[in-house]
């Protein structure tokens, strides 16, 4: 029953994120959702703060760095540590995802850990790049001012 409550909450959140004026209008910057299935795994290759794409700050945002899997048939995801390959599932790194109808937001609903819905803005999604952005505290330190980070992924070729 809890899964249904979480899913319902996410759908409500998605509806609220879509401005009424955005319905039935073409989205010129639409992403290719099916591109998530073009690679079984995606590797974080760069993290940068909005407005500073030349500076890679992966070391300051290790919580968002890793390997991710996306199953479009079940809408399930799971994150793994890029160095050890260990799953992050029990720490909130696995659950369900969906993309809003306007294809502008990618929403995660973790099954375990500090359960909270994560809304990410889709910046690029094609067969060679998956980039999202979201607001987080600077350097992922609570009470720091928020910044918008962009997290860039490319298809992962390793084990």
| Domain map (residue ranges) of the chain | 2-11+40-155
Residues 65/82, Cβ–Cβ less than 8 Å:
yes
Residues 131/109, Cβ–Cβ less than 8 Å:
no
User: Would you call 95 helix, strand, or coil by DSSP?
Assistant: strand
- The percent of residues above 70 in pLDDT, for the chain, comes to 81
CA gap 138, 66 in Å, rounded: 19
Q: What is the pLDDT of residues 127-153, one digit of tens each?
A: 999 999 999 999 999 999 999 999 999
Q: Which residue has the tokens 């909450």?
A: 9
- CATH 2.40.128.540 describes domain 2-11+40-155: yes
| Residue 74: per-residue pLDDT | 93
Local structure of residue 27 (DSSP, 8 states): -
| Residue 6: per-residue pLDDT | 57
Q: What is the pLDDT of residues 87-137, one digit of tens each?
A: 999 988 999 999 998 999 999 999 988 878 999 999 999 999 999 999 999
Q: What is the pLDDT of residues 27-86, one digit of tens each?
A: 445 688 888 888 889 999 999 999 999 999 999 999 999 999 999 999 999 999 999 999
């Amino acid at each position: 029953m809890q899964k249904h409550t979480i899913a319902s909450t996410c759908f409500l959140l998605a509806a609220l994120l879509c401005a009424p004026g955005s319905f039935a209008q073409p989205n010129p910057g639409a992403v290719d959702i099916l591109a998530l299935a073009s690679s079984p795994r995606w590797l974080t290759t760069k993290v940068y703060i909005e407005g500073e794409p030349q500076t890679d700050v992966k070391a300051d945002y290790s919580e968002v760095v890793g390997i991710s899997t996306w199953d479009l048939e079940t809408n399930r995801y799971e994150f793994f540590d890029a160095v050890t390959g260990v799953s992050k599932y029990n720490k909130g790194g696995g659950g369900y995802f969906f993309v809003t109808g306007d294809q502008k937001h990618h929403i995660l609903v973790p099954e375990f850990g500090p359960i909270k819905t994560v809304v990410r803005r889709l910046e690029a999604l094609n067969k060679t790049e998956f980039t999202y952005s979201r607001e987080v505290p600077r350097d992922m330190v609570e009470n720091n001012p928020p910044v918008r980070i962009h997290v860039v992924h490319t298809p992962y070729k390793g084990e």
